[in-house]
Copies of this chain bind each other. A is one copy, B any other.
Amino acid sequence: MSKYKTIDSEQLVDIFKALANSHRLKIFNILTSCCTPGASCASDEVFSCCVGDLDSQLDIAASTLSHHLKELHRAGLIHMQRDGKQVYCSVNTDVMKQLENIFSSQLVGAQL
């Protein structure tokens, strides 16, 4: 009934699962406040988005961060793209739009 591409309820659970952890939510915050997917952050800006920069803001082991990024990526919330030695992360704005739609229309899972 909706004109929007819907997220099925299984994927929605995965998305909420991905956001249901303080470290991952913080990562997501950093990415939403900084990087839009087209424009990869220049290195002279205050915040940038490669894994190492996230690492410096998070106080967890690099391996743990890697695990969390994998979860966010699996859920479809972020993009990850290698550029040389670095891997750059950015928010998947398509999914953001769909989430907005889900909550604004009060149809958290009307497709069920």
Could you tell me which residues of chain A, from 56 to 112, have a CB within 8 Å of some CB in chain B?
A: 96, 99-100, 103-104, 106-110, 112
CB distance from A14 to the nearest CB of B (A): 8
Chain B residue at minimum C-beta to C-beta distance from A36: B106
CB distance from A76 to the nearest CB of B (A): 15
Q: Which residues from B are CB-within-8-Å of A103? A: 96, 99-100, 103-104
Are A110 and B16 in touch, CB under 8 angstroms?
no
Q: CA of A38 to CA of B103 in the docked complex: distance in angstroms? A: 19
Are B109 and A28 in touch, CB under 8 angstroms?
yes
CB distance from A96 to the nearest CB of B (A): 6
Q: Which residues from B are CB-within-8-Å of A100? A: 100, 103-104
A22 at the interface (CB under 8 A from B): yes
Q: CA of A28 to CA of B108 in the docked complex: distance in angstroms? A: 8
Q: Which residues from B are CB-within-8-Å of A104? A: 100, 103-104
Are B25 and A12 in touch, CB under 8 angstroms?
yes
Q: Which residues from B are CB-within-8-Å of A107? A: 32-33
